[in-house]
Structure 1
Amino acid sequence: MSEVISTSKLSKRYGSTYSVQDMNLTVREGDIYGFLGPNGAGKSTTLKMILGLAKPTEGKVKVFGKDFAEERRQILDQTGSLIESPSYYGHLTGLENMRVVQRLRRVPDNNVTEALKIVRLDKHKDKKAGQYSLGMKQRLGIAMALVSWPKLLVLDEPTNGLDPAGIGEIRELIKSLPERFGMTVLLSSHLLAEIEQIATSVGIIHQGKLLFQGSMEELQRRSYPMIMIKTADNSRAQRFLAAEGYSPQLFEDRIAFAGLGDEEAAAVNRRLVAANIDVLRIEEHKKNLEHIFLELTGKERSL
């Protein structure tokens, strides 16, 4: 697949401090690329540089294989975006706001109708945008980004302010865009569960640096499942198994083993039973994206 976005040593410095440093981002055609990191990691700054809203201190940006600095207008004509928060005229209705974007984008009326319907604002289109709830404003911003059915859609925290039902709807919408409209989607988020459910590729950013980039499958392969065994006497079981050559760790009310295969797990079970230690439960726990993120960043912190 061709590269839709490619950055080379992209950096943004404020004074002597780098907000983003040496960012080599690659988003391929048809991807839903999840750009993941805690607040303040440099996600929005990176997206702004890709869209020409912030000037890089160093590095280059290519979109659709073209140098952004040289082909800015042509690139933006094929790009839709929602960065940080939606821009709208509060004294105009949702439909009137869409008409403004329609004129700028030079698209037909049915694009506006379809975009409003997709984000569930078709029944609220005649209400003043200033009277919209936070979630409705967010959906209006997404509709504005979608109205030209762009080849590239860039969304910064697209589910911000939405209720659980709205989050689910936007998630399903984004997942359908590559196949339905041939779009490539780059979205940022600090919500780990959202990225796990929606992205085909992922980039993890921390303190302005890209720590990981690849497919979701590649990221998941970086971790191995833990076998958790609960016994009637975990302390005794741990001492016994350590003497047998295993390396079990006590974890809450269970004994944890890293990288234990099915046959080895069965062997451990037999040894415990033979030693008159009752085995109450054996479970496999796979690390989720949060565990992997914490391992990559070395930070026990909330996103």
Structure 2
Amino acid sequence: MNTIISTHNLSKYFNGICRVNEVNLTVYEGDIYGFLGPNGAGKSTTLKMLLGLTKPTKGDVIIFGKNFNKNRQLILSQTGSLIESPSYYGHLTGLENMRILQRLRNVSTKNIQEALHIVRLENQQNKLVKHYSLGMKQRLGIAMALINFPKLLILDEPTNGLDPNGIREIRELIKSLPQRYGITVLISTHLLSEIEQMATSVGIINDGKLLFQGDMDLLKAKSKTYISIKTEDNKLAKKILLPKGYEFNQNNDRLIFENLTDSHIAYLNKLLIGHGINVTRIEEHKKSLEDIFLELTGKERSL
């Protein structure tokens, strides 16, 4: 697979405080790469460095196989972005804002109409942007990022201000971009549920450090099912189960088992009862992606 973005020890310090700490991102062609982290984790700062909006303290940014510092104009001509909040002229209509960008990007009028259609603003294009709702302004920002139908689209919290229906529309839009237009997408958010439904790859950052990077399936594989069993005499239960080859951990008053089939659970229950041990609870648990996220980023941190 072709690598669209790679960073090498990318770091940023503000007033001597490290905000991004030696981050090595890898985004492949056709990816929808979900960049996850709590608020203040370093997501926006990293994206700004990818776009040249903030100068790295150290490290390199390689996009489309080219060093950003040496090929800035070429790279940005093939990149669309929406960082933090859209920029627009409120006294102009949505269409007029798009026409300004059209001249800057040197693209056809057809691109304007297609981008507005994609974000469902074609019926609001002649309305002044200052009268747009927050969600409409956000969609206009995405349309402006799409106007040249770039190879790479970088979106920072693109569903901010959208109602549930709008969030679903943007999610479906983003999912369609790689296959329909050949656009690779890097999207940052603190909303794990959104990334879970659209991303093919994911990176998790916290306190400026990249804690996890890989396929979404690899992250989901961490979500293993386990069985907890509570008895009235766990000490005796352990003496009976260990010689039988059962492997388990103890968490408070529960015995924790992994990789047990239904038949194993039934046999284990029968075995304990047969030795006069009352089994009071058998429960199945599965770590959600949110649980994994919180374990990686620290449960004291808010999403």
Same fold flag (TM > 0.5): yes
Query: Which residue of 1 is the match for residue 260 of structure 2?
Result: 261
Distance 2:31 2:159 in 1: 19
* Matched AA of 1:119: V
Q: How many Å apart are 1:195 and its aligned residue?
A: 1.1
Residue pair 1:203, 1:211 contacting (<8 A) in 2 also: yes
Q: Distance in 2 between matches of 1:260 and 1:166?
A: 40
Q: Distance in 1 between matches of 2:184 and 2:70?
A: 22
Aligned: 1:156 with 2:152: no
Whole-Å separation in 2 of the counterparts to 1:48 and 1:81: 10
Say whether the 8 Å CA contact 2:20–2:209 is kept in structure 1.
yes
Q: TM-score, normalised by structure 2?
A: 0.90
Q: Do the aligned partners of residues 240 and 121 (structure 1) sit closer, same or farther apart at CA in structure 2, a change above 3 Å counting?
A: farther
Asked if structure 1 preserves the Cα contact closer than 8 Å seen for 2:228 and 2:257, the reply is: no
> Contact 1:13 / 1:57 at 8 angstroms: preserved in 2?
yes
Matching residue of 2:240 = 244
- The 3-state SS of whatever aligns with 1:244 is helix
Structure 2 Cα separation of the partners of residues 267 and 294 of structure 1: 35
CA distance in 2: counterparts of 1:94 and 1:146, whole angstroms? 14
Identity of matched residues, %: 60
Q: Which residue of 2 aligns with 1:39?
A: 39
For residue 244 of structure 2, what is the aligned residue in structure 1? none
Return 5+ residue gaps in structure 1 as ranges. Answer: none
Report the Cα distance in structure 2 between the residues aligned to 1:86 and 1:115, rounded to whole angstroms: 15
Pick which of 19-28 and 216-225 moved more: 216-225
SS of 2:18's partner is strand
Structure 1 SS opposite 2:112: helix
SS at match of 2:44: helix
Q: What is residue 137 of structure 1 aligned with on the other side?
A: 137
Give 1:102 deviation, angstroms.
Answer: 1.3
Do structure 1's residue 205 and structure 2's residue 205 form an aligned pair?
yes
Given the two structures, how large is their TM-score scaled by the length of structure 1?
0.90
Asked whether the 8 Å contact 1:269–1:279 carries over to 2, the reply is no
State yes or no: 1:118 paired with 2:118. yes
CA deviations on 1:44-93 (whole Å, 9 max, x unpaired) are 00000000000111011010000111111111111000000000000011
**CA distance in structure 1 between the aligned counterparts of 2:98 and 2:273, rounded to whole angstroms:** 69
SS in 1 for 2:232: helix
Aligned residue identity for 1:139: R
Partners of 2:223 and 2:289 within 8 A in 1 = no
| Unpaired segments ≥5 residues, structure 2 | 242-247
Q: Identify the residue that residue 214 of structure 1 maps to in structure 2.
A: 214
Contact 1:237-1:272 at 8 Å conserved across structures: no
Contact 1:226-1:256 at 8 Å conserved across structures: no
C-alpha distance in 2 between matches for 1:159 and 1:269 = 48
**CA deviation after TM superposition for structure 1 residue 208, in Å:** 0.5
Whole-angstrom distance in 2 between the partners of 1:19 and 1:120 = 36
CA gap of 1:261–1:115, structure 2 versus 1, over 3 A, is same
Separation in 2, partners of 1:91, 1:238: 72
8 Å Cα contact 1:78/1:151 also seen in 2: yes
